[in-house]
Each structure stands twice: as structure tokens, then as C-alpha cells.
Amino acid sequence: MKKGKVKDSTNGLRDFQNSVRHHVRYSGGKALDQASKGDLYEAVALAVRDRLIDGMLETDERYKRQDAKRLYYLSLEFLMGRALGNNLYNLGVFDLAKDALTDMGVDIEEVRDSEIDAALGNGGLGRLAACFLDSMATLGMPGYGYGINYEFGLFRQEIDNGCQKEKPDHWHSEETPWLIQRRSEACIVPVYGRIEHYQDKSGNDNPMWMDWKILIGVPHDMPVAGYGGNTVNYLRLFSARSSDEFDMQIFNEGDYFKAVQQKMSSETISKVLYPSDSVEAGKELRLVQEYFLVACSVRDIIRRYLANHDTLEAFADKVAIQLNDTHPALAVAELMRTLIDEHDMEWEGAWEITKATLGYTNHTLLPEALEKWPVPLLEHVLPRHLQIIYEINRRFLQQVSARWPDDGDRLARMSIIEEGEPKQVRMAYLSIVGSHSVNGVAELHSELVKTTLIPDFYQLWPERFNNKTNGVTQRRWLLKSNPLLSELITETIGDAWITDLDRVRQLEEYADDEAFKKQFLEIKRANKERLAQIILDTARVEVNPDTLFDTQIKRLHEYKRQLLNVMYIIHQYMSLIEDQKQLTAPKTYIFAGKAAPGYFMAKLIIRLICSVGEVINRDPRVNGQMKVVLVPDYRVSLAEAIIPAADLSEQISTAGMEASGTGNMKLAMNGALTIGTLDGANIEILEEVGDENIYIFGLTVEQIQEMRNGGAYNPWDYYNQNPNIKRVMESIGSDIFCPNETGLFKPIYDNILHQGDYYFHLADFQSYLETQEIASRDYNDPSVWAKKVILNVARMGKFSSDRTISEYAREIWDLRPVV
């Protein structure tokens, strides 16, 4: 099967070659025989971009003709990864491009390897946004991403002597062939200043926003092709520029150095993506970033709408805006401000439009991750918006008061403004009050949002709450990243699964077919060999593809419990060297993930993983039964290499803490079996694949809540009663894994035993250990294992982001395909 439907005829091959030659010469300024791999990548990308632009203009025309409703997905993060391969597959020209380049003596894989990931996100939230763009385009829906064109994406991770070192990730935002600059659509964004009250012409109080500074938002569009190439939407990323770009006269007339300084400070706004968990450090800049995105987006969306409509009355009929978490929550105030101040609407009308337009997706249950901004800071940065937020809150609390008279506690709980020193604006509450829809991202998570996170709001507006279980695009995560498995699936059931993942259920018929199982396992073996080479090249550890590849690949965070995995590894190691027990299945433990630069405990856990790996990997007594490796610089392109090679997928967060997870879906889709807690979307994976095809362990949300509330959890009880736990903890507390740095891992030991083990590592340890044992036993029987693997792949239909987007479109956005 050719990858994708090839639209081009044989002439297409020559056209493509001519286009590449043209761009090498006239865009790159080089003769073909002097072009480096990087030059060739640029030229190939530009050749592909030409086709994307044709598709984008045609798509835009189609939407205009039908006056289609459009969806704008506002997100501070879009983790796009590499674009070339994905675009080639989705345009249906992968094989054509490969043949064309081969004919020119160029290896397409080497060209693809020259591309730098667009790492404009931290993890799941940003990657979800990228998957959604792919699905919207594939479904022919007018959906656009709106984000920031960070000059530096998430930092590049280097591991130096077991320690994470952060290096700047300069992804060449200005030079990437995928972005089209739209200077003529730049918009003005005022920020800072003060409010001056003055009477308007009718004698009423008129607050005027004075003394602001101006930023200019310059949009850059990254085309997003749907599968088949019929629809090409785009991701619009804004770069911050100083106002001098609006009028260069400042350089001619004014103080040159002052002007340059001002220009630099303005451009800082889109300089760098904040790593999650470390926003505290640069609060003001982050707030300005959030506002910058929102202001540029609202301005741009209204401008586009008014290009084809006379008034804003029916705005919400033609525009939907989704807030990806609370980061763009200021959209509530900005849309209100724009409608009232700039378009002279009355409050009530503007409020109805705002609510009908906006929807809010909650992504976290962790209280510390719920955004709040100090009132004095907001007043300093956005004085007019603060006024509007106060007015929204005043009217909202009137509503609450009317429903629950004399309930002061409830008013305080629900107020958008949290009392205290200083007062803070609760961005989640602002989002809920200003949206017509509030959704969680997995069934369990959505329930917990209603029952534990914000029950007061659920009581007030139950109809506003809904669930949209996350999904991932099978085009990137299976078709593109696992070509061998994709081909096997297509040969077996046809290629309809590429746009309708429910079709993979037909593979169930082959779950007992020994020949099919063998093919399946051979593909996994080939993918593992490929990964083994990458591990050798990057982590300098030789691993054996015949061992079970046990993978935990995700951001480092205590709630995700990489530590529980390490504790189990230490237990295995101790069983091997002290108890002389043979391990049930030889294993390679593969970690990948970044820790926020300021997150001490997460960085120490990285250190522990590396140190444990160092000790185990060189201990001759282990005799090939275990290897531990942390593959540096986890990013989309690395995930695409690890996921197809994984046997076991570690999804072991403390129950109730992972909103959904999407790595769990990608891994299962690629034939890795899940070992996981009853958390996030693991529960729905369990429902789909059946409990005999997944390894579930650990405490439930209810059990954890009960133990937490009743103060019943004492990690010492587990330590004292379970010799395995005691031995593991003492190993961590001792210098076995840090012979040259006494006490290095003592903070982890103390955190677990002396500070209450907030994430219940010890409570879940024994259950985890026993479940790991079951998984290892199953792995030793390839026929049993292969059947489970096939059934997992076959039952992943629900976890396509096509399904998720169809639900959002139908139930929240009222968005239809325009084909």
C-alpha cells in the first residue's frame, strides 16, 4: 500500500523534483551539488509548503463561500514536533517525495532528520492541541489554533553526570519554512497604564485607559493539512514586536538607543515558553504573555468576522473560541472589553455573546496548578481588564446571592476574587463564569471536577459541565511513527482506519491467528532494534531488544510517580543480587522526560534514575537481566521512536491526579500493554480493552481520599510491615546509588517517610510489584502476550482525537465539516 492516497500522477514526481531544485537554488541560493542536508530539508519543506499554501487558500475560499462557523483554539502551547513527515503523509505524497528524492540521490530519512522539533509546549496539554488541529483539518472543520511564536521552545535537556542541564531550544522560529509571516495583519496590543475617570458626553462616569504601552502582534501561519489534503487549516502564532515596527519613524526622529531598548523589551514577550511548574519565577512576563495571546487573538478574530459581517450581534453563531486550560482565561475580560469599549455594546448583550462564544477545558485537579493572579499585578498590567473582572464578579455574586440568600461562605468560596493578602483573581472561576461550557478531559476527571474541584459551580450550572475524553491522532502516532505496523494493519483490514480508527476493531479477528501474532511481534522487535540504536547513540547504553521494554515517558512530576517505578527497579535489583532470585523476565527500563528547571524533587528523581542505572548497568551480577536508561531530551520526535518499540506502558500516577494522559493512548495504540492505576483515561482504556488485557493496580481515588481525609495513611506502617519496602527505602537513604556524594538521595527518603508520602508511593508499592510480576509472566509467553497486544490495538478506536473533536464540534462548538 502506498502511504496515503497519491493525488499526483507520475508527472508529480518530476514536478516535485523541479520544485525542490527550484528552492535549493532560488530560496537557498545554492547549486544542488553544494546543498547540505539542512539545505535539502529547507528546499523539500518549501516544495511541500507550496502545495500547502494552495490547499490553504482553496480551503479559506470554501469556508468564505459558505460563511462557515469557525473555531479558534486558544492555547499557550502547541507541541507540534516535526512537520515534514506529517505533511507528506497527510498530503498523500510521502511515497512520491521519497521516490523523487531517491531518484535525486537523496535519502528522505536523512532529510527528515534535519528538521528541528517545534517544541512549543511542555507535554500533554500542548500535544493535545496539536492532535486536535490534525483532526479538525482531517474532518474538514474550520478550526484554527492560536498561540505564541516562542523564539525558544521548551528547553533542550542534556544529562550531565546524571544531572539534568537545561539548554536553550532555539527552534529557528524566524527561519522555519513552515511559518508564513502576515505582517499586514499585525495588531496593536495595549498593556500597562492606569484608569482615569472622566465624564462622558452624557455626564456619566467614563473610565479611560491611559498611559499604556503598545505591543505589536505579528501573526505567523503554520499550515495544517488534513489527511487527504482536501482541507488545509492553519495554526496562527503571534510574535511580539515593538511599536516601532508599526512606524519606523521612531528610529528616525527619536532617541535611537532608547528605541532599540524598548524594541528589545517588547520582543521579550514572545521570547520563551515557560516550563510548567515554574511560572512563579517570571510572573509578570507570563501574565503579559497570556494577555498578549488573548488580545491578539480576539482582535484578529473580530477583524476576520467583521470582514464579512456588518455587526457583531450574531458573532457567536459564526465564532467559537475554546480556552485550553485557564492560560487564555483573560479572553473573557478581553472580549467583554472589546465589545463594550470598542464596539459600544451594552453590558448585557456583550455578556451573552461572550458566554455563547467561549468554552473552557479544565486540565488539572492539582490545586497548586490552578492559576491565580494577584490583584495588584493585574491592576498594574491590565487596569481596564481588572475593572471588567470586578464587574463580572459583582454581577455573578448577585446571581449566587439570589439563588442562595444569606450564604456568605458560599459567596466567598465562589467569588472570582479570592480574599487575602494580596487578593487574587481565580482564573478558573473567571473561565467558568464567562463560558457556556466547562469540560474535563476524561470521564473520571470530569466527575472529579464536578464533585471535588468546583462543586459549587456544578450546583449552580449543572448543564454547563461535560466530559470530552482526550484522544490522539492516529495519523502521527501510528501511520507516521510506526510505518511497519501501519502497513500490517492496512494489509489486513484496509486503510479506512486512517480516518476512522473504529475500523481497527476488525483486528480482533486475528488475535488468535498465530501467523498474524508472529508478524506483530516481529514488527515490535524491529522497532525495538531501531530504538536500541537511538539509545546507544544518545544515552551510550547498550540494550537488548529481546528484553521487555518497560517505558515511562512523560514530564517528570511527583504525582506521575517515576519514583514508584525506580523503587520497583531497586527492589528487582536487590532481589537479584541479595536474594539471588532470577527475574521473571529480563527487562530494559526506559525513561524519558524533562523536569521543570526549578523543581528540585523532580530533578533529584532524574538523578536517582541515572544513578540507579549506572550501578545496575555495570554490575556483572545482573548479567543482562536488567538495564535502566534515561533517554535525554524527550520531545515529540523521540516519542515517535520510543512508542512503537514499547512493550509495557507505565501509567502509574496517584489515582485522582492525572487528568487524562494521552501517552497511555499512544502507547496502547502501538501495541504496548498498560500497567496503570485507576486514574485519568486509564479507566476508559480498561473499559475498552477488557481487564484481562491491562495490568491495573493500586488504590482507587475513593480509597486515597478516605485515607487522606481520615489521616489514616502512615508510610511508616508500610515500611515496618513490608521488608521489601524497607530494603528499597534504606537503599535510597544510603549511599549505594551515590557513593561519591553522601546523602544525595536523602531528601527523597525524607519526603516519603518523614513528610507523609503525599503521593502514596508506599501504599501502592506491593500491589505494583505483584502486578509487574503478572505482566512479566505474560510476556514470557509470546502467544499470550501477542494476543493481548493485538486486542489492545484493535480496541483503541475510542482514543482517536477524531472522536474527541467530533464531540467538541457537536456538543460545544456547533461546528460542522465544510467539504
Partner 1 sequence: MQVEDRKEGDVLVVKVLNKRLDAQAANDFKEKMTEYINNGSPLIVLNMSDVDFVDSSGLGAMVSVLKLSGGDGQLAVCGTTERVARMFKLTRMNKVFSMFEEESEAIDALSQ
CB of 354 to partner 1, least distance (A): 18
Applying CB under 8 A, which of residues 105, 160, 198, 580 lies at the interface with partner 1? 198
Which range of residues in 140-148, 173-181, 193-201, 680-688 is near partner 1 by CB under 8 A? 193-201
Catalytic residue among 473, 547, 588, 662: 662
Residue 193 binds partner 1, judged by CB under 8 A: yes
How far are the Cα atoms of 14, 48, 49, 301 from residue 42, in angstroms, in the given order?
18, 10, 10, 31
- Name every residue whose Cβ is closer than 8 Å to that of residue 146 and which is 6 or more positions away in sequence: 72, 73, 74, 75, 235, 236, 237, 238, 293, 296, 297, 300, 301
Cβ contact 650:529 at 8 Å = no
Q: Which of 366, 356, 376, 353 is nearest to 326 (CA)?
A: 366
Burial of 704 (0-12, 13-18, 19+ CB in 10 A): buried
| CB 421 to partner 1: min, Å | 31
Q: Does 742 bind partner 1 (CB under 8 A)?
A: no
Question: In this complex, which beta carbon is closest to partner 1, that of residue 291 or of residue 360?
Answer: 291
Cα–Cα distance between 417 and 419 in angstroms, integer? 6
Q: Name the minimum Å distance from CB 350 to partner 1.
A: 14
Q: How far is the CB of 196 from partner 1 (least distance, A)?
A: 7
Calpha distance 620→605 (Å, rounded): 25
Binding flag, residue 342, partner 1 (CB under 8 A): yes
- How many CB atoms lie under 10 A from the CB of residue 112? 19
* DSSP result, 59-105: HHHHHHHTT--EEEEE-S-EEEE--HHHHHHHHT-HHHHHHHHHHTT
**Rounded Cα–Cα distance for residues 37 and 106 (Å):** 9
Stretch that binds partner 1, among 80-88, 340-348, 371-379, 641-649 (CB under 8 A): 340-348
The region of 163-171, 205-213, 481-489, 508-516 touching partner 1 under the rule CB under 8 A is 205-213
- Say which residue the cell 523476565 belongs to: 585
Q: What is the CA 57 to chain-centroid distance, rounded? A: 28
Q: Interface with partner 1 includes 211 (CB under 8 A)?
A: yes
Q: How far, in Å, CA of 787 to CA of 5, rounded? A: 31
Half-sphere CA count of 522, side-chain side, radius 13 A: 8
Catalytic option among 23, 554, 561, 787: 554
Could you say which of 286, 363, 476, 627 is catalytic? 363
Q: Which of residues 231-290 bind partner 1 (CB under 8 A)?
A: 243, 246-247, 249-250, 253-254
Task: Supply the DSSP string of 246-312, one letter for each residue.
Answer: T-THHHHHS-HHHHHHHHHHHHGGGTBPPPTT-GGGGHHHHHHHHHHHHHHHHHHHHHHHHHH-S-S
| Residue 355 C-beta: closest distance to partner 1, Å | 23
Rounded Cα distance, 554 and 514, in Å: 34
Among 341, 391, 443, 487, binds partner 1 (CB under 8 A): 341
Q: Does 200 bind partner 1 (CB under 8 A)?
A: yes
| Closer residue to partner 1, CB minimum distance, 99 or 341 | 341
Q: What's the CA gap between 107 and 540, in Å, rounded?
A: 26
Nearer to partner 1, 26 or 256 (CB): 256
Return d(Cα 688, Cα 685) in angstroms, integer.
5
- The answer to the question of residue 201 lying near partner 1 (CB under 8 A) is yes
Closer by beta carbon to partner 1, 243 or else 492: 243
Stretch of residues binding partner 1 (CB under 8 A), selected from 208-216, 314-322, 422-430, 546-554: 208-216
- Binding window for partner 1 (CB under 8 A); candidates: 122-130, 206-214, 231-239, 361-369: 206-214
**H/E element, 165:** strand 163-167
Question: Which residue's entry shows cell 473560541?
Answer: 321
Instruction: Give the β-pairing of 424-426 and 417-418.
Output: antiparallel
Kindly state whether residue 559 participates in binding partner 1, applying the rule CB under 8 A: no
> In this complex, which beta carbon is closest to partner 1, that of residue 213 or of residue 372?
213
Q: Which is nearer to partner 1, 334 or 650 (CB)?
A: 334
540 touches partner 1 (CB under 8 A): no
Closest approach, Cβ 210 to partner 1, in A, equals 5
Residue closer to partner 1 by CB (options 190, 282) is 190
Q: Is 538 helix (H, G, I), strand (E, B) or coil?
A: helix
184: contact with partner 1 by CB under 8 A: no
Least Å distance, CB 243 to partner 1, is: 7
Between 353 and 673, CB nearer to partner 1: 353
**Annotated catalytic residue within 49, 51, 468, 560:** 560
Q: Which of 16, 209, 234, 697 binds partner 1 (CB under 8 A)?
A: 209
The catalytic residue among 299, 426, 666, 788 is 666
Asked whether 622 and 581 are in contact (CB, 8 A), the reply is no
When the beta carbons of 200 and 529 are compared against partner 1, the nearer one is 200
412 binds partner 1 (CB under 8 A): no
Q: Which one of residues 213, 283, 503, 727 is an interface residue with partner 1 (CB under 8 A)? A: 213
| Residue 662 appears among annotated catalytic residues | yes
C-alpha torsion angle, residues 360, 361, 365, 370 (rounded to 10): -50
Pick from 145, 522, 501: nearest CA to 323? 145
Residues 6+ apart with CB under 8 A from 411: 397, 400, 401
> Of 69, 220, 468, 555, which one is the catalytic site residue?
555
Secondary element (H or E) of residue 636: helix 636-642
CB of 331 to partner 1, least distance (A): 17
> Which span (338-346, 464-472, 505-513, 730-738) binds partner 1, by CB under 8 A?
338-346
Minimal distance in Å, beta carbon 147 to partner 1?
A: 24
Among 31, 188, 496, 784, binds partner 1 (CB under 8 A): 188
x-or-dash pattern for partner 1, window 94-133, by CB under 8 A? Answer: ----------------------------------------
> Cis before residue 723, ω within 30 degrees of 0?
no
Q: Which of 12, 21, 190, 726 binds partner 1 (CB under 8 A)?
A: 190
One symbol per residue from 694 to 713: x for binding partner 1 (CB under 8 A), - otherwise; what is it?
A: --------------------
Tell the smallest beta-carbon distance from residue 713 to partner 1 (Å).
55
Q: What is the largest CA-CA distance in the chain?
A: 90
5-to-312, 473, 482, 502, 749 alpha-carbon distances in Å: 41, 18, 18, 20, 56
Residues 225, 587: Cα–Cα separation, whole Å: 40
| Closest distance to partner 1 from the beta carbon of 214 (Å) | 6
Instruction: Identify which of residues 192 and 559 has a Cβ nearer to partner 1 in the complex.
Output: 192
Among 53, 166, 207, 503, binds partner 1 (CB under 8 A): 207
In this chain, which of 6, 180, 214, 534 binds partner 1, going by CB under 8 A?
214
| Cα torsion 527, 528, 529, 532: sign | positive
Number of CB atoms found within 10 A of residue 723's CB: 9
21 is annotated as an active-site residue: no
| Element of type H or E holding 145 | strand 143-148
Stretch that binds partner 1, among 176-184, 203-211, 524-532, 681-689 (CB under 8 A): 203-211
Is residue 343 flagged as an active site residue?
no
555 is catalytic: yes
Q: How many residues in the shown chain lie near partner 1 by CB under 8 A?
A: 27
**What are the cell numbers at 498?**
486512517
Q: How far is the CB of 500 from partner 1 (least distance, A)?
A: 47
In angstroms, give the least distance from the CB of 298 to partner 1.
12
Q: Which residues of the shown chain bind partner 1 in the complex (CB under 8 A)? A: 188, 190, 193, 196, 198-201, 206-214, 243, 246-247, 249-250, 253-254, 341-343
**Residues assigned a catalytic role:** 363, 554-555, 560, 662, 666
